[in-house]
Amino acid sequence: MVATARPAHPYLERVSDALRSDSVAQETLWTFLDNSCNQLATAQSMHIHRNTVAYRLARVAKLTGHDPQDPEGSWVLAAARLHGRDRGNVASDGDAPETSG
């Protein structure tokens, strides 16, 4: 509901724009959210080290001002993801670019 509330749109667009500036961090965040905010499951899913996941999530926090490892931060980031999908600006599942390490 937050992602579709008109007053939230400008804020969610800024968060989405910040994420689009770093596609690797964005892909890591989406995978992290899809894996119930579990770093180990994210690392296994992406075939990278867990420390790499932690580094990338810290990058997300720096880019957006929202820590994905914090419950409130993960909600805002998930809302930005949904809002971006509604606008057609976020890759849908399976459309994220391949990355290594």
Look at residue 94 in the predicted model and tell me its pLDDT: 42
12 is a domain residue: no
Look at residue 5 in the predicted model and tell me its pLDDT: 62
Rounded Cα distance between 72 and 84, Å, is 18
Domain that holds residue 71: 20-87
Q: What is the CATH number of the domain that holds 32?
A: 1.10.10.2840
C-alpha of 98 from chain center: 15
73 is a domain residue: yes
Place of tokens 């804020």: 11
Task: State pTM to two decimals.
Answer: 0.78
Handedness of CA 77, 82, 85, 86 (dihedral sign): negative
For residue 9, is pLDDT > 60? yes
Give per-residue pLDDT as tens, 37-73. 999 999 999 999 999 999 999 999 999 999 999 999 9
E strands present in the chain: none
32 is a domain residue: yes
